[in-house]
Amino acid sequence: MIEALDQIIVRFSARILGLFYKPRFLFALLSRLWPNPDYLLNKPKLAAVTEQGYTFDHNVSAMVFIVGDKKTPLSEASAQYCLYNIVLYAQTRGAGSCLWGPGQIFLTRTREARRRLGLERHERIYGTVLLGYPAVKFANKVQGKALPILWNAGAG
Protein backbone atom coordinates (compact mmCIF):
# COMPACT_ATOMS: atom_id res chain seq x y z
CA MET A 1 0.00 0.00 0.00
CA ILE A 2 2.84 2.41 0.89
CA GLU A 3 4.54 1.84 -2.47
CA ALA A 4 1.26 2.25 -4.36
CA LEU A 5 0.54 5.56 -2.62
CA ASP A 6 4.10 6.67 -3.29
CA GLN A 7 3.69 5.98 -7.02
CA ILE A 8 0.43 7.95 -7.05
CA ILE A 9 2.37 10.94 -5.69
CA VAL A 10 5.10 10.49 -8.33
CA ARG A 11 2.53 10.43 -11.17
CA PHE A 12 0.68 13.44 -9.72
CA SER A 13 3.96 15.38 -9.36
CA ALA A 14 4.91 14.59 -12.97
CA ARG A 15 1.48 15.76 -14.13
CA ILE A 16 1.75 19.08 -12.22
CA LEU A 17 5.30 19.62 -13.46
CA GLY A 18 4.26 18.96 -17.06
CA LEU A 19 1.15 21.13 -16.91
CA PHE A 20 2.39 24.22 -15.10
CA TYR A 21 6.17 24.36 -15.18
CA LYS A 22 7.25 22.90 -18.54
CA PRO A 23 5.21 25.03 -21.00
CA ARG A 24 7.07 28.33 -21.29
CA PHE A 25 3.95 30.32 -22.16
CA LEU A 26 1.98 29.08 -19.15
CA PHE A 27 4.97 29.47 -16.84
CA ALA A 28 5.48 33.07 -18.02
CA LEU A 29 1.78 33.76 -17.51
CA LEU A 30 1.89 32.34 -13.97
CA SER A 31 4.93 34.43 -13.11
CA ARG A 32 3.09 37.57 -14.30
CA LEU A 33 -0.08 36.75 -12.38
CA TRP A 34 1.75 35.83 -9.16
CA PRO A 35 4.89 37.93 -8.84
CA ASN A 36 5.56 36.39 -5.42
CA PRO A 37 7.99 33.54 -6.26
CA ASP A 38 6.63 31.03 -3.71
CA TYR A 39 5.41 28.73 -6.48
CA LEU A 40 8.98 28.59 -7.82
CA LEU A 41 10.02 26.70 -4.68
CA ASN A 42 7.84 23.78 -5.73
CA LYS A 43 9.45 23.26 -9.12
CA PRO A 44 12.71 21.67 -7.86
CA LYS A 45 10.76 19.45 -5.45
CA LEU A 46 8.42 18.23 -8.17
CA ALA A 47 11.33 17.72 -10.58
CA ALA A 48 13.30 15.71 -8.00
CA VAL A 49 10.34 13.44 -7.20
CA THR A 50 9.66 12.88 -10.89
CA GLU A 51 13.31 12.15 -11.65
CA GLN A 52 13.85 9.82 -8.67
CA GLY A 53 10.60 7.93 -9.12
CA TYR A 54 9.79 7.98 -5.40
CA THR A 55 8.96 10.58 -2.77
CA PHE A 56 10.97 9.33 0.20
CA ASP A 57 14.24 7.43 0.16
CA HIS A 58 13.85 5.30 3.25
CA ASN A 59 11.79 2.29 4.20
CA VAL A 60 8.86 3.49 6.23
CA SER A 61 7.25 1.02 8.61
CA ALA A 62 3.89 2.77 8.80
CA MET A 63 1.94 5.74 7.53
CA VAL A 64 -0.60 7.29 9.87
CA PHE A 65 -3.36 9.31 8.20
CA ILE A 66 -5.52 11.74 10.14
CA VAL A 67 -8.85 11.76 8.32
CA GLY A 68 -11.91 13.80 9.13
CA ASP A 69 -15.16 15.19 7.84
CA LYS A 70 -14.79 18.40 5.85
CA LYS A 71 -17.87 19.88 7.49
CA THR A 72 -16.80 19.38 11.10
CA PRO A 73 -15.60 22.63 12.69
CA LEU A 74 -11.97 22.76 13.90
CA SER A 75 -11.08 19.47 12.20
CA GLU A 76 -7.79 20.83 10.94
CA ALA A 77 -6.76 22.20 14.34
CA SER A 78 -7.66 18.91 16.02
CA ALA A 79 -5.71 16.98 13.40
CA GLN A 80 -2.62 19.13 13.92
CA TYR A 81 -2.79 18.50 17.68
CA CYS A 82 -3.11 14.76 17.05
CA LEU A 83 -0.17 14.77 14.61
CA TYR A 84 1.98 16.61 17.12
CA ASN A 85 1.21 14.03 19.80
CA ILE A 86 2.01 11.14 17.44
CA VAL A 87 5.39 12.64 16.53
CA LEU A 88 6.24 13.32 20.19
CA TYR A 89 5.25 9.81 21.25
CA ALA A 90 7.25 8.24 18.42
CA GLN A 91 10.30 10.28 19.39
CA THR A 92 10.05 9.28 23.04
CA ARG A 93 9.84 5.64 22.00
CA GLY A 94 12.92 6.05 19.77
CA ALA A 95 11.09 5.71 16.46
CA GLY A 96 11.88 8.06 13.62
CA SER A 97 8.93 10.07 12.34
CA CYS A 98 8.14 13.05 10.19
CA LEU A 99 5.16 14.90 8.83
CA TRP A 100 4.52 14.08 5.18
CA GLY A 101 2.96 16.91 3.18
CA PRO A 102 2.05 15.02 0.00
CA GLY A 103 -0.38 12.90 1.99
CA GLN A 104 -2.46 15.90 2.82
CA ILE A 105 -1.90 17.84 -0.39
CA PHE A 106 -2.05 15.25 -3.17
CA LEU A 107 -3.71 12.10 -1.87
CA THR A 108 -6.88 13.91 -0.80
CA ARG A 109 -7.32 15.12 -4.38
CA THR A 110 -6.48 11.87 -6.18
CA ARG A 111 -9.35 9.51 -6.92
CA GLU A 112 -7.18 6.37 -6.97
CA ALA A 113 -5.63 7.19 -3.58
CA ARG A 114 -9.03 7.96 -2.06
CA ARG A 115 -10.32 4.61 -3.30
CA ARG A 116 -7.30 2.72 -1.94
CA LEU A 117 -7.59 4.41 1.45
CA GLY A 118 -11.35 3.92 1.62
CA LEU A 119 -12.16 7.61 2.02
CA GLU A 120 -15.78 8.67 1.74
CA ARG A 121 -16.87 11.62 -0.38
CA HIS A 122 -17.17 13.97 2.64
CA GLU A 123 -13.80 13.01 4.15
CA ARG A 124 -10.38 14.47 3.60
CA ILE A 125 -6.85 13.82 4.84
CA TYR A 126 -5.82 16.47 7.36
CA GLY A 127 -2.30 15.16 7.89
CA THR A 128 0.09 12.27 7.49
CA VAL A 129 2.94 11.01 9.65
CA LEU A 130 5.59 8.58 8.44
CA LEU A 131 6.83 6.26 11.18
CA GLY A 132 9.77 3.92 11.51
CA TYR A 133 12.89 5.27 9.98
CA PRO A 134 15.61 2.64 10.31
CA ALA A 135 18.41 3.25 12.86
CA VAL A 136 17.46 6.82 13.74
CA LYS A 137 19.39 8.40 16.60
CA PHE A 138 18.18 11.69 17.97
CA ALA A 139 21.00 14.02 18.94
CA ASN A 140 18.75 16.19 21.08
CA LYS A 141 16.95 13.46 23.01
CA VAL A 142 16.05 14.64 26.50
CA GLN A 143 17.90 12.67 29.16
CA GLY A 144 16.29 14.29 32.19
CA LYS A 145 17.66 14.90 35.66
CA ALA A 146 16.37 15.53 39.15
CA LEU A 147 16.05 19.21 39.97
CA PRO A 148 16.68 20.56 43.48
CA ILE A 149 13.21 21.84 44.32
CA LEU A 150 12.82 23.78 47.55
CA TRP A 151 9.51 24.69 49.09
CA ASN A 152 8.91 27.75 51.26
CA ALA A 153 8.73 26.37 54.78
CA GLY A 154 7.20 29.56 56.17
CA ALA A 155 4.35 29.91 53.69
CA GLY A 156 1.05 28.64 54.53
Q: Where are the domains of the chain?
A: 2-52, 62-133
**Amino acid letter, residue 89:** Y
| pTM of the model as a whole | 0.67
What one-character DSSP code corresponds to residue 146?
-
Distance CA 12, CA 4 (A): 12
**CATH top-level class for 62-133?**
alpha beta
Distance CA 14, CA 54 (A): 11
Q: Give tens-digit pLDDT for 37-94.
A: 666 777 888 888 888 888 776 678 888 898 888 888 888 888 888 988 998 888 888 7
Q: Give tens-digit pLDDT for 104-148.
A: 778 888 889 889 989 898 898 988 888 876 555 556 666 667 767
